[in-house]
Amino acid sequence: MVVPCELRYTSDHEWSRFHEGRVRMGITDYAQDALGDIVFVLLPEVGSRVEQGGVLGEVESTKSVSEIYAPVAGEVVAINGSLADAPEKLNSDPYGEGWICEISPVDSDAYSGLLDAASYEQLISG
């Protein structure tokens, strides 16, 4: 499983990247593999506010549905609208084209509190 070292992670198998004041997030390679073929993504609305760990949306594969949680509290400032017609990007490129949304965090320190790659790798191999 690919776990890029420059990203941060949650124990809910989501990745986050802090860039220019925003946290971009998606689901990890491990998560997409566990879900199987992803066929639908319910995205949050731009402008909505979420708590850390609050529900952002849903990811559905042919076999199951999972909720997506906010890695940090804040306001949703961008969504990856291309997932509406091409949710398979979450399988083919979970850390790139398959990003889900960007959050403007209430507290920029929240990002540094997330798991680093080594800790996440340990979590999924445990």
Partner 1 sequence: MSAPERSPASAGAPDHADAARRTGFRRSPLEAEHVTLGAKLVEFGGWLMPLAYPRGTLVEHRACRSAAVAFDVSHLGTVRVEGDGAFNTLQRVLTNDLRKIGPGRAQYTHLLDDADASVVDDLIVWWTAEEIFDVMPNASNTSRVREAIGGTDTTATRAVVALQGPQARRLLSRIAPDAACVPRFAVGSFTWEGASCTAAGTGYTGEDGVECALPVEVAGSFWRAVLETGVVPAGLGARDTLRLEAGLPLHGHELGPGITSLQAKLGWVVSWDKGDFRGRRALEHERRTGPSRILRGIVAEGRQPLRDGGLVHHGAQIVGTVTSGNFSPVLERGIAMALVATGARIEDGDEVVLELRSRPVPARLAELPFVRPGTSASRAEVA
- Is 98 a binding residue for partner 1 by CB under 8 A? The answer is no
4, 18, 49, 60: which one binds partner 1 (CB under 8 A): 60
- Is 107 a binding residue for partner 1 by CB under 8 A? The answer is no
Please report how close the Cβ of residue 68 comes to partner 1 at its closest, in angstroms: 6
Q: Return the number of the residue (88 or 116) whose C-beta is nearest partner 1.
A: 88
Asked whether 45 and 68 are in contact (CB, 8 A), the reply is no
Choices 1-9, 43-51, 56-64, 73-81; region in contact with partner 1 by CB under 8 A: 56-64
- Is 40 a binding residue for partner 1 by CB under 8 A? The answer is yes
Residue 55 is classified by DSSP as E
- Is 16 a binding residue for partner 1 by CB under 8 A? The answer is no
Alpha-carbon gap, residue 89 to 73, rounded angstroms: 25
Q: Return the number of the residue (59 or 115) whose C-beta is nearest partner 1.
A: 59
| Amino acid at residue number 25 | M
- Is 122 a binding residue for partner 1 by CB under 8 A? The answer is no
The Cα angle at residue 89 between residues 31 and 64, in degrees rounded to 5: 45
Q: Write b or e for each residue in 31-70: b if 16 or more Cβ atoms lie within 10 A of its Cβ, otherwise e.
A: bbeebeebeebebbeeebebebeeebbebbbeeeebebbb
Q: Which residues bind partner 1 (CB under 8 A)?
A: 12-14, 27, 31, 34-37, 39-40, 42, 59-69, 84, 87-88, 91
